[in-house]
Amino acid sequence: MQKLEDSKNSLLNLIVWPANKEDLIPKIQKILELHDFCGQKSPDTVRLELLLEKRFNPEVRFVIEFPYVDRHYRDTYYSFHSSKFNKIGRNCIRVHLFEGEVTRTDLLDRENKLDEKRYWGFFIIRPLLHSILGRSLISPMAYIKNEYVCCLMKAKVSLLGNEFMAYGFPHIAQDKETHTCAESALWSYIEYFGSKYPQYKPLLPSQIIKTLLDTTEHRLLPSKGLSKDELAKCLQNNGFQCQIYSFTKSSIGVTMHFRLIQIYRIWNPAVVDAGWKCSWSYGVGNRASRR
């Protein structure tokens, strides 16, 4: 492993490390312990360990890229994290997923370029002690179980001069401060349609908050989640036409609820993409959580 002492004074330079399932987490922990990330504190890697052990295809190999400026995290950093008493880094780590082993030499070889089909997307590691997983765009091929209907968007990715195309559904893990599961679902939803159709546009977390400032009766940061009405209002303000359906605890309501989910899961992807823009929420009182 490249000595971290040499990298402490060179964070302005891009550093790339190949990794496999066994050494990915130790390498990420060493990077996050640098002063410009989390400092000497050890971050919680439980969720990442779960992904590696039970979710990812055995053929997946990784390339770690740092420091990386992630637009989503940088937005939350300046709108919230930078105001905290404890110092938090503003740079992230981007982890690329490939089918099979990839070395730095492979990435620098301009004559024999890597097959783009081997690129399976990326995920972001944030310098947050308890919520390191950030946004991601990962191909279904990277997972052990991938026989399901999934709407896909595409995004160009650059790594050491190589251009790849990532295909996947955009996802962002909640950090429980700037966004909970409600804001995360909202962001994923808008990011997907904003990347595919000109009448919609992707939003940063601070832009989602600004959408709700005129209607909310409580502070939005740190977040305690959004009500179903706030979710609908944000979608409405960004070009989506919404209809809220309520389901009771009666047997008819529950049956209909799961019937809708069943239809949504098996529906033709083109039909889902064209018109079935669905989000489910449930909660206690007026707060909502997405499913």
pLDDT digits (tens, 9 = 90+) for 52-107: 888 899 999 999 999 999 999 999 999 888 888 788 899 999 999 999 999 999 99
Q: Does residue 5 carry a pLDDT above 80? A: no
Q: How many folded domains does the chain comprise?
A: 2
Which H or E run contains 28? helix 24-32
Sheet holding 60-68, edge to edge: 15-19, 60-68, 92-99, 119-125, 133-138, 171-172
Taking the C-alpha atoms of residue 250 and residue 253, their distance in angstroms, rounded to an integer, is 5
The pLDDT of residue 250 is 55
Question: What's the rounded mean pLDDT across residues 117-123?
Answer: 96
Residue 222's pLDDT band (cuts 50, 70, 90):
confident
Residue ranges making up the domain that contains 130 = 4-172
Q: Do residues 151 and 46 share a domain?
A: yes
Q: Which residues contact 69 (CB under 8 A, 6 or more apart)?
A: 91, 92
Q: Is the pLDDT of residue 255 over 70?
A: no
Average pLDDT over residues 245-272: 48
Residues 119 and 153 occupy one common structural domain: yes
- pLDDT band, residue 249 (cuts 50/70/90): low
Q: Is the pLDDT of residue 269 over 50?
A: no
Identify whether residues 28 and 151 lie together within a single domain.
yes
Q: Give the pLDDT score at 95.
A: 97
Together in a domain, 54 and 118: yes
User: Strand pairing of 289-290 and 281-282?
Assistant: antiparallel
Q: Of the given ranges (18-27, 154-163, 259-268), which has the lowest mean pLDDT?
A: 259-268
Place of tokens 């990715």: 157
Q: Looking at the structure, do residues 168 and 192 belong to the same domain, yes or no?
A: no
Indicate whether 88 and 36 sit together in one domain. yes
Distance (Å, rounded) from C-alpha 162 to C-alpha 229?
A: 44
Whole-angstrom distance, CA of residue 186 vs CA of residue 174: 11
Range 223-227 average pLDDT: 80
Residue 134 near residue 92, CB atoms below 8 Å: yes
pTM (2 decimals)?
A: 0.82
- Do both 47 and 158 map to the same domain? yes
Last residue of a domain, one of 130, 154, 172: 172
Q: Within this chain, do residues 210 and 236 fall inside the same structural domain, yes or no? A: yes
Taking only the tens place, the pLDDT of each residue in 151-200 is 899 999 999 989 999 999 999 988 888 888 888 888 998 999 999 888 88
Of 134, 153, 172, which closes a domain? 172
Rounded percentage of the chain residues whose pLDDT exceeds 90: 36
**Number of other residues whose CB lies within 10 A of the CB of residue 284:** 7
Question: Quick one: 122 and 213 in the same domain?
Answer: no
- Rounded percentage of the chain residues whose pLDDT exceeds 70: 78
Q: pLDDT averaged over the chain?
A: 80
- The pLDDT-based confidence of 237 (bands split at 50, 70, 90) is confident
Instruction: Say whether both 127 and 212 belong to one domain.
Output: no
Q: What is the spatial distance between Cα 261 and Cα 232, in angstroms, rounded to a whole number?
A: 19
Residues 191 and 254 in one domain: yes
From 19-28, 148-157, 202-211, the region with the lowest mean pLDDT: 202-211
Task: Examine the fold and report which residue of 141, 172, 203 is the final residue of a domain before the chain moves on.
Answer: 172
Say if CB 74 and CB 54 are below 8 A apart. no
Query: Can you tell me the mean pLDDT for 250-255?
Result: 50
Average pLDDT over residues 253-267: 46
Are residues 72 and 9 part of one domain?
A: yes
pLDDT level of residue 207 (50, 70, 90 thresholds):
confident
Tell which residue, 169, 167, 282, has the closest CA to residue 227: 282
Number of Cβ within 10 Å of residue 61's Cβ equals 19
